[in-house]
Structure 1
């Protein structure tokens, strides 16, 4: 028991010796510096300073010095109100003559000579107002002219003469209390075109009409002609003096290309 106690005393003494030595030579390593912190926020802007006094310069001023003293250009202002219109200036001298323009498109030929564009037209409308019966196999003549431009219809002779070659339309209407048959006749037709109206009553007026489109060349003629068919054309009909009327009209639809 006494020996164990001595051993414990020796261990304590050794521990004290070791502790005293570490206090002098057993220092720890220095620690690493800490990381840099994040930047702080900008401070609030300061109050705008007062406008400075204008510079006072005595004596002559060098233009270069003025440029150095000149401040920065300010922002552009709003556009002002438009002023009144000035007086018109004097006419300036004439400018140089320009070059020739480009040629235009080719024109369309309508006609030449007496068949020019201004004359490529033809129309007529004439009226027979005679109360006598139109004689069969004879050209019907007319007393009144409604239209005859430019004068291709011969009212006295009763026929139309083609001046402008082309396509024409011809038509007639008759009003009478007697039976009537009428041909449309032309040099361009092989056969005559016949139209008839048989009025057996002879008390009421009846209307007879007909029309045709013809291709004509210069000089060809067109006219109306009465003829006998099944209608009664006796002495009584020939002496009938009741009002009769025949209207004959025609016009150029389009001329032939030259």
Structure 2
């Protein structure tokens, strides 16, 4: 009996299949599906793949907008001096500068009657008047060149007193006087002054009122009125603009 059991055990072990299914002498039905298993943990990262080959060069893109100006750079060092250029052509000769002029001198003609008081004394015989600024018909000098002038009067006085003024535009600039003291021969009285003038200013000689009008002139003695420009104010005048 014991041997029979051993034999049956051997036969039963030989009849098992690879699926670990227990053989049965009776045919069974399929069992119900089992529940899904639990997800396993995340695997380790894989290794980096190899670099791909370079692709073909792309076409040129459109031109972008201009960017803002950059910060000015540092100033560079001064360069060396260049060579001197060739001399230019000689210019045409300029006009010769001529200093302005104004001068005159005149005297009284031989007369016995004294000049009228409070009126210009007319020195009617012109000695010099190249610019024509003195008028012997009126006894007045009229300024055309602005500047500083000097006027001088030399009077011969005979048997009377004399007082005369150097007058500018109706106002006395300087006054001169000589009293007659019964001197029997001709005497002289001279005077002068610097006067600043502008164009159209007038200067003349004028005797006073009363008995002080003793201007005298003869063949041997004269009374003269002279004036001339010392220097001009050309830079302030339209005459020389």
Normalised to the residue count of structure 1, the TM-score between the two structures is 0.49
Where does residue 246 of structure 1 map in the other structure? 223
Following superposition, the deviation at residue 204 of structure 1 comes to 1.2
- Equivalent residue for 1:196? 177
In the alignment, the residues of structure 2 paired with residue 143 and residue 184 of structure 1 have an alpha-carbon distance, to the nearest angstrom, of 17
Distance 1:198 1:121, change over 3 A: same
Residue 218 of structure 1 and its aligned partner are, at CA, apart by 0.6
**Counterpart residue number, 1:128:** 108
Structure 2 CA distance for partners of 1:241 and 1:249, relative to 1, 3 Å: closer
Find the counterpart in structure 2 of residue 167 from structure 1. Answer: 148
Is 1:206 the counterpart of 2:194? The answer is no
Q: For 1:247 and 1:228, locate their aligned partners in 2 and report how far apart those are by CA, in whole Å.
A: 20
| C-alpha distance in structure 2 between counterparts of 1:163 and 1:204, whole Å | 40
Matched, 1:154 2:135: yes
Where in structure 2 are there 5+ consecutive unaligned residues? 1-85, 236-241
Alpha carbons 2:142, 2:200 under 8 Å: kept: yes
Aligned counterpart, 1:46: none
Counterpart Cα distance in 2 of 1:158 and 1:204: 27
2: CA distance, partners of 1:170 / 1:242: 20
Partner Cα separation in structure 1 for residue 216 and residue 150 of structure 2: 31
Match of 2:88 in 1: 100
Calculate the TM-score normalised by the size of structure 2. Answer: 0.52
**Is the Cα contact below 8 Å between 2:120 and 2:206 reproduced in 1?**
yes
Residue deviations 1:145-172, cap 9 Å, x none? 1111211000111000001001100000
Separation (CA, whole Å) in 1 of partners of 2:122 and 2:200: 19
Question: 1-side partners of 2:100 and 2:125: how far apart?
Answer: 25
Note closer, same or farther for the CA distance 1:134–1:151 as it changes in structure 2 (3 Å cut): same
Q: Any idea what the Cα deviations from partners look like across 1:49-72, whole Å, max 9, x if unmatched?
A: xxxxxxxxxxxxxxxxxxxxxxxx
1:257 CA displacement: 3.4
Residue aligning to 1:183: 165
Question: Retained in 1: the 8 A contact 2:107–2:222?
Answer: yes
Greater helix fraction, Structure 1 or Structure 2: 1
Work out the CA distance in 2 between the residues paired with 1:198 and 1:219: 35
Shift of 1:131: 2.3
Q: Secondary structure at the match of 2:132?
A: coil
Q: 1:254 to 1:118 in 2, by over 3 A?
A: same
* Contact 1:175/1:246 (8 A) holds in 2: yes
In the TM superposition, residue 242 of structure 1 has moved relative to its aligned partner by: 7.7
Aligned residues: 144
Distance 2:142 2:178 in 1: 28
After superposition, give the CA deviation of every residue in 1:100-158 in whole Å (9 maximum; x if it has no partner): 1588xxx9xxxxxxxx9546100000001222111111110023111112110001110
Change (3 A) 1:173 1:102: same
> Shift in Å at residue 180 of structure 1?
1.1
Q: Aligned in 2, Cα 1:124/1:173: closer, same or farther, shift over 3 Å?
A: same
- Uncovered stretches (5+) of structure 1, i.e. residues with no partner: 1-97, 108-115
